[in-house]
Amino acid sequence: MTHLPTVPDVPAEIDEIVAWHSHIYFSEETRAIAEHLNEELQDRFKIWDYRWLDQANGLHPSPMFRFAILKEDFERYVYWLLEARQGLSVLLHAITENVYIDHSYLTLWFGKQLELGLDSMREKEAQRLAGEQTEVNSVLLVGQQRHLAGTVRYRPGDDTYKTREWPPVASA
């Protein structure tokens, strides 16, 4: 068995940020707030790579919806979010070539910071650092598809992971 290197808390380098992912967490009691935010944000921003999950999964500890936003909308989105989130916890993270660093280091939390299930990502990062072949970062490939921004109006329950063609074609 190969001994994998320790993944550092601070990355040695940070790759180019191609877009941002925002995760808005909710509970059964706050779902109506999340649904309202879902509508309002699409009135204000062009989003893509949308996913609504009504339950926790291995990475996310509670129901949430997430989407990609354009780099140029970052500042405007943060200002809007500070006023609009109504107490919900929100994770905003970069989309780069390194999905582990994106979720662990290049993050901003609004409200209560939740503990993400990063073990699988950390293990893949250790494999990458050891020089092993790892899978392509699908979030990066989808994040590069800026041409999809604002082309669909998403509703609660929509999940582009279930309907998109795979693998996505990276746009120029």
pLDDT of residue 164: 57
As a whole number, mean pLDDT of residues 134-157 equals 87
pLDDT of residue 157: 87
* φ, ψ (nearest 5 deg) of residue 128: -65, -45
pLDDT of residue 1: 52
The answer to whether 82 and 110 are in contact (CB under 8 A) is: yes
Per-domain residue ranges for the chain?
19-163
pLDDT of residue 141: 85
On the 0-12 / 13-18 / 19+ scale of CB atoms within 10 A, 67 is: buried
CATH of 19-163, one of 3.40.640.10, 3.50.50.60, 3.30.70.1240, 3.40.50.2030: 3.30.70.1240
pLDDT of residue 25: 98
As a whole number, mean pLDDT of residues 20-41 equals 97
d(C-alpha 162, C-alpha 41), whole Å = 22
Q: How far apart are the first and last CA of the chain?
A: 40
- From start to end of the chain, where are the E strands? 19-25, 47-53, 64-69, 90-95, 107-110
As a whole number, mean pLDDT of residues 149-170 equals 74
Average pLDDT, the chain: 90
pLDDT of residue 169: 47
Task: Dihedral sign for Cα 112, 101, 137, 145, please.
Answer: positive
Say yes or no to pLDDT of 167 above 70. no
Q: In 3D, which of 66, 93, 71 has the Cα closest to residue 19?
A: 71
As a whole number, mean pLDDT of residues 115-140 equals 88
Q: Which helix (H) or strand (E) holds 121?
A: helix 119-129
As a whole number, mean pLDDT of residues 153-167 equals 75
Share of the chain above pLDDT 70, in %: 93
Say yes or no to pLDDT of 71 above 70. yes
In the DSSP assignment, the letter for residue 114 is P
